[in-house]
Amino acid sequence: NIPSSSMKPTLLIGDFLFVSKFSYGYSKHSFPFSPPLFTGRTSERGPERGDVVVFKLPSDGRTDFIKRVIGLP
């Protein structure tokens, strides 16, 4: 659930999300216990400005971070 007001007005404190882990395609991390069938991602679609993304930091694999994409390379 949303723990803070940083995503207001789109998401409010206490809101719950349904998340698709495959919006940007499958990767080797999608199937951690299978043999490496491919490299990279199966979809060319990447994040776009305004998308809401959920991720874990490599240094903290337990906490879900929910952020809005603002800048792109």
3-state SS class at 29: helix
* 4, 5, 6, 43: the active-site residue: 6
- CATH number, domain containing residue 43: 2.10.109.10
φ/ψ (deg, to 5) at 52: -100, 125
Give the total number of structural domains in the chain.
Answer: 1
3-state SS class at 6: coil
Q: What is the pLDDT of residue 49?
A: 92
* 8, 21, 56, 67: the active-site residue: 67
Q: What is the pLDDT of residue 61?
A: 79
pLDDT < 70: residue spans in the chain: 27-32, 34, 37-38, 40-43
67 included as an active-site residue:
yes
